């Protein structure tokens, strides 16, 4: 199993995080189950009124976190994570273990992102930026301010040492932490 990165410092305050392993045979039903169980445990840790075994699914597919306890779920084929941040406006999380190919990078990243955020100029890997866009999409979409849109339309830029994701005037900071085989991205609108 992959080493679990800790929640990045800038996102850690008030964030309740639960990891769960995905059970064999590691398919979509097991990934869904692990994510929903992690979310239920994170809600309980956050002080939600009742511990739910599963967080329900909204009609659009998003997890249905209760009012006052925004959260997000992500998983790989072997590991799931849920974050709950009481009092936040919206939350997004993503974990990535996949190798992001150059072809994928050209599709997901805009020219300026590639030129300024990837080496040799920037310090991010393609896997980290992919995860950042996914986490930001979840936070921006969950805020209710935007209609559904493809996650790769989000623009990433660094400002004063913080990665900022934006789409149509809405912004969210994104924090990243990586291990050699796994990247974690967290986006929180407070």
CA distances from 26 to 22, 53, 57, 162, 168 (A): 6, 19, 20, 35, 37
pLDDT tens across 2-32, in order? 568 888 888 878 899 999 999 999 999 999 9
**Residue 105, in any domain of the structure:** yes
Q: Are 155 and 102 in contact (CB under 8 A)?
A: no
The answer to the question of whether 36 is labelled as a binding residue is yes
Banded model confidence at residue 177, pLDDT cuts 50, 70, 90: very high
Q: Is residue 1 part of a domain?
A: no
User: Is 94 assigned a ligand-binding role in the annotation?
Assistant: yes
Confirm whether residue 73 is marked as ligand binding.
Answer: no
Query: Would 169 be classed as within a structural domain?
Result: yes
Do the strands 71-75 and 79-84 form a parallel or antiparallel pair, or are they unpaired?
Answer: antiparallel
Q: What is the mean pLDDT of residues 103-125?
A: 93
DSSP H/E element including 183: strand 182-189
- Domain membership of residue 39 as a residue range: 9-189
Residue 4 within any structural domain of the chain: no
Based on the number of CB atoms within 10 Å of its own CB, is 17 exposed (0-12), middle (13-18) or buried (19 or more)?
Answer: buried
Number of domains present in the structure of the chain: 1
| pTM for this model (two decimals) | 0.93
The answer on whether 128 is annotated among ligand-binding residues is no
């Amino acid at each position: 199993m992959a080493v679990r990165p800790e929640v990045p410092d800038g996102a850690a305050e008030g964030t309740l995080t639960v990891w769960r392993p995905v059970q064999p045979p590691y398919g979509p039903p097991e990934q869904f189950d692990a994510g929903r169980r992690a979310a239920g445990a994170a809600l309980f840790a956050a002080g939600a009124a009742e511990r739910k075994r599963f967080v329900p699914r909204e009609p659009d597919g998003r997890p249905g976190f209760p009012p006052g306890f925004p959260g997000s779920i992500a998983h790989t084929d072997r590991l799931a994570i849920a974050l709950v941040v009481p009092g936040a406006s919206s939350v997004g999380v993503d974990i990535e273990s996949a190798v992001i190919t150059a072809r994928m990078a050209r599709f997901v990243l805009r020219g300026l992102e590639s030129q300024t955020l990837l080496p040799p100029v920037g310090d991010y890997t393609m896997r980290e930026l992919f995860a950042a866009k996914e986490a930001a999409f979840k936070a921006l979409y969950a805020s209710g301010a935007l209609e559904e849109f493809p996650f790769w339309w989000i623009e990433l830029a660094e400002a004063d040492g913080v990665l900022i994701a934006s789409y149509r005037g809405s912004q969210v900071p994104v924090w990243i932490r990586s291990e050699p085989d796994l990247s974690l991205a967290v986006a929180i609108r407070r």
